Amino acid sequence: MEQTIRRLEEKLEQLTEQVGILEDTQSIRKLHHQYGYYLDQCLYNEVVELFADNGVAYFMGGIYKGKAKGVRRLYIERFQNRFTKGHNGPIYGFLLDHPQMQDVITVSPDRKTAKARFRCLMQAGLHESAEGQARQWWEGGLYENEYVNEDGVWKIKTLNYRGLWHGDFDKGWAHTPPNLYPFPTVTFPEDPIGPDELITDPKPWLWPDTAVVPFHYPHPVTGEKWEAKKPTNV
């Protein structure tokens, strides 16, 4: 009887841990999807509040450090001022939709941190009847993020967005000029809305250059970790 009770207690502990990891996984998926919805609606203030205080954002070859400084500089002082003229929320004629999908989420054994990979496909533009230059474009990218559980609440620790390719709506991505969007070369404060640090290793790239954004997880069958190799032209 005692052995049976111990086995049941061990099984209960195991199942409790498995349920906890599933709950964490769902919370992280929900958090990132909510990030996507907030960003699509230009609710940049709400986006910033999803980060931990020491949160970091990687974007277009630059690193923005700290929720109150770097992250806010990116989303409020750069995106909000550029796309919605300082307004927190959508404005007439501006479109930004980038659905989040193909998530692979890995919770650490202690359930205090996690990593996740998401893919997004963006459609964006400014309507011809809105103030400004009418335009529309496609964009594809990947997120390789880190999350932290603070007092039972999952938050973004590192948001690492890698825009991979862009394309005009009418011409398509096959006709995208190389280096269409230049990466930053100057940091804050010399550039008031620039990153705190430049990413130089690995060197940033955009389509038609190609490379693999490193996977945070090992191969599920072999257990091997994928190692980056130099891209080749075939």
Residue 115 belongs to domain spanning: 2-198
Query: Domain for residue 149, yes or no?
Result: yes
Could you tell me the CATH number of the domain that includes residue 108? 3.10.450.50
Between the alpha carbon of residue 168 and those of residues 19, 88, 159, 172, the distances in Å are: 45, 27, 26, 5
Nearest to 63 by CA among 167, 203, 194, 175: 194
Residue 11's pLDDT is: 87
Residue 84's pLDDT is: 94
Residue 227's pLDDT is: 83
Query: Domain for residue 212, yes or no?
Result: no
Main-chain phi, psi angles of 79, to 5 degrees: -65, -50
Query: Residues 86-115: pLDDT tens digits?
Result: 999 999 999 999 999 999 999 999 999 999
Q: Residue 229: is its pLDDT beyond 70?
A: no
What distance, in Å, lies between the first and last C-alpha atoms of the chain? Answer: 67
Query: Domain for residue 45, yes or no?
Result: yes
pLDDT band at 231 (very low <50, low <70, confident <90, very high): low
Which is more confident, 135 or 64?
Answer: 64
Query: Domain for residue 215, yes or no?
Result: no
The mean of the pLDDT values for the chain is 93
Q: Residue 191: is its pLDDT beyond 90?
A: yes
Nearest to 116 by CA among 56, 61, 158, 64: 158
Look up residue 158 and give its DSSP letter. Answer: E
Query: Domain for residue 207, yes or no?
Result: no
Contact between 178 and 166 (Cβ < 8 Å): no
Q: Domain total for the chain?
A: 1
Query: Counting Cβ atoms within 10 Å, is residue 141 exposed (0-12), middle (13-18) or buried (19+)?
Result: middle
Query: Domain for residue 131, yes or no?
Result: yes
Tokens (6 digits) for 198? 């430049």
Query: Domain for residue 209, yes or no?
Result: no
Please compute Rg for the chain using Cα positions: 21
Query: Residues 66-83: pLDDT tens digits?
Result: 999 999 999 999 999 999
Query: Domain for residue 223, yes or no?
Result: no
Residue 234's pLDDT is: 45
